[in-house]
Amino acid sequence: MTLILTEIVIMAHRGILQIKQRFRLVILGFLLLVSCNGAEVSPVELLASNEELDLINGLLYFNEMLFSGRLVDCYDEEQLKFEAHYKKGKKHGVERKWYADAALAEVRYYTKGNKSGIHEAWWPNKKKKFEYHFNEKGEYHGKVSEWYRTGQSYRAFNYLNGQEVGRQQLWQLDGRIKGNYEVAHGERFGLIGLKKCYTVSADSDEVKKGISYE
């Protein structure tokens, strides 16, 4: 390990390794310090296309060790497409996505691999696409809202630790109500409306069947 780090430092001084100002990649080999148990890589930054990355049973590995650090994808040398933070192989911290014009597309948060906090997204026209609230167990907790590309509301649900509670509403693209009901003690009362799993497609204003909300 010492010999490898020494060679990398020498190469860097010779100008062989050129580090881009904005995207510091895995060529910073001297930051790859192995922990005492040899199971985790210290924080680094990698391209998502790195062939040494491997997702096994929901855990991200780099060179057969649990990955901790920042994962990025780029449109080009100047524009980020995606970033996510990992700790011991699990998403932990903020995850962001951008459109090609640098407009923010999504912001999500994770705690030890579970969705947490507020997840938000925007259509290319900058209108709000969705807003989900989670507890630290990755369950819906609070408001769950979605909008069509036009800005028309698609759904406004309320959750408590993964369970629907209170008023739930669904709308069609033209603004007509599709579902409007109350949930109390696990029972639904009112116009249920949509009975299957529906969501707003990322590439269309149409509501499509059979796709989960995330």
List the chain residues with pLDDT less than 70: 1-43, 193-214
Where are the extended beta strands (E) located within 40-173? 44-47, 53-56, 59-62, 65-66, 69-74, 80-87, 90-98, 104-111, 114-122, 128-134, 140-147, 153-160, 163-164, 166-171
At residue 63, the pLDDT reads: 94
At residue 165, the pLDDT reads: 96
Entry field: residues in the chain: 214
At residue 118, the pLDDT reads: 98
How many CA within 13 A on the CB side of residue 143?
9
Domain boundaries, the chain: 1-83, 103-214
At residue 7, the pLDDT reads: 38
At residue 190, the pLDDT reads: 85
